[in-house]
Amino acid sequence: MQSSGEKVVLNDGEVLRVEKLEVRFYTYAGVVHAVSNVSFYVREGETIALVGETGCGKTITTRAITKLIESPGRIESGIALFRRRNGQIVDLLKLDDEEIRKIRGDEIAYVFQDPSAALDPLYTVGYHFIETVKAHRNNVSKKNIIYLAIKLLREVAIPSPEVRVKNYPHELSGGMRQRSVIAISLSNMPKLLIADEPTTNLDVTIQAQILELLQELQKRYGMSMILITHNLGVVAETANRVYVMYAGKIVEEGNCETIFYNSAHPYTQLLLKAVPNPLKKIEKLESIPGTVPSLINPPPGCRFHPRCPFAMDICRKEEPPKIKLDDNHYVFCWLYTKR
Ligand SMILES: Nc1ncnc2c1ncn2[C@@H]1O[C@H](COP(=O)(O)OP(=O)(O)O)[C@@H](O)[C@H]1O
Ligand code: SF4
Ligand SMILES: [Mg+2]
């Protein structure tokens, strides 16, 4: 694996810094450029959101961080500096399998879209806590882990946690299953929680509750969080900063308010038009014309050009540079170059 030439450092107050991450899948149909030149950082105690339509590279970006990329996928290059609990700074992508396994599920935890996939139907909720803790700390007794499980189930607002801890997954509703998965993910007190579309499979009222819960827990435990979603509306109250991804690349980054009220990239602006406004009961949502391109032969130049209402000649030929619009506000788009 190559690493980029320049020196990348983790600044004070940052827990993770990813630089120039490249992930490809070598399929029979061709090479899928799933994640291209992706850079971002997460501060201690902050929530960032990765936003974009399905197929834009959000999941693969975050799975790559703990080397959860399976064949035919390959992390081609990049750096992912992480500040461990003990203060040590490591490049996650350079760790061997055993070293990364120690961090995954412990200092970095995941909550995925489908809670059923995260829970083994043959085992009780309590057993999942025991497995998760024992994988990293062998000296904790089962009794103490069950105490912890009950405490965490209570914190995620599961009623009668003493009873629920003995339940099997099928005895819980979808919302309760996702709450349990969140509680299990907290059992080792991660420094960084990655929540990948954690509410997509739940109904709308439960979605709001789960997001509120994640936000509360993140504050209570001082964790950092990466929230992945295809719905920009979801990030409004949850995230501090937002990275918008399109076709495997980051196209805009900024504070939450900037992205909502002052977005610059045409793709972000179209994504915003597709967000339901809770204040308006009936509203025609605009969907973005066209689809995310195949990443086997992504469009040259700006990957958004086939769908962009402002596309110019240069957009079809040359990749747009990263342009600073403001402190913390960056966009990759030819519209903002001074020529
Ligand atoms: N196992 C795989 N084999 C081939 N291509 C894959 C595989 N997993 C993901 N991809 C491709 O990588 C790109 C990014 O996928 P993903 O990160 O899952 O998107 P998102 O999470 O934004 O919906 C997509 O083009 C997808 O088709
Ligand atoms: S670089 Fe060109 S095609 Fe891409 S978003 Fe900007 S204006 Fe549209
Ligand atoms: Mg995904």
Mean pLDDT in residue range 252-278: 89
Strands 192-196 and 108-111 turn out to be parallel
pTM of the complete model: 0.94
Report d(CA 178, CA 209) in Å as an integer: 11
Q: Shortest CA distance to 45 belongs to which of 199, 198, 211, 190?
A: 190
Q: Is any ligand 1 atom within 6 A of the Cβ of residue 51?
A: no
Q: Is any ligand 1 atom within 6 A of the Cβ of residue 293?
A: no
Residue reference for tokens 């399929």: 27
User: What pLDDT, in 10s, does the model give residues 77-131?
Assistant: 999 999 999 999 999 999 999 999 999 999 999 998 888 889 999 999 999 999 9
Strands 249-255 and 241-246 turn out to be antiparallel
Query: Which is the closest atom of ligand 2 to the Cα of 312?
Result: 2
Residue reference for tokens 């929680």: 193
- Across-strand partners of 74? 24
Ligand showing the shortest atom-to-Cα distance for residue 252:
2
Mean pLDDT in residue range 282-287: 61
Report d(CA 193, CA 251) in Å as an integer: 23
Nearest-CA residue for ligand 1 atom 16 is 57
By most ligand atoms within 8 Å of CB, the mutation choice from 263, 335, 336, 339 for ligand 2 is 335
Mean pLDDT in residue range 254-276: 92
Q: How far is CA 226 from CA 45, 47, 200, in A?
A: 11, 6, 15
Taking CB atoms and a 6 Å cutoff, what residues make up the pocket around ligand 2?
265-266, 302, 304-305, 308, 310-312, 315, 320, 333-335
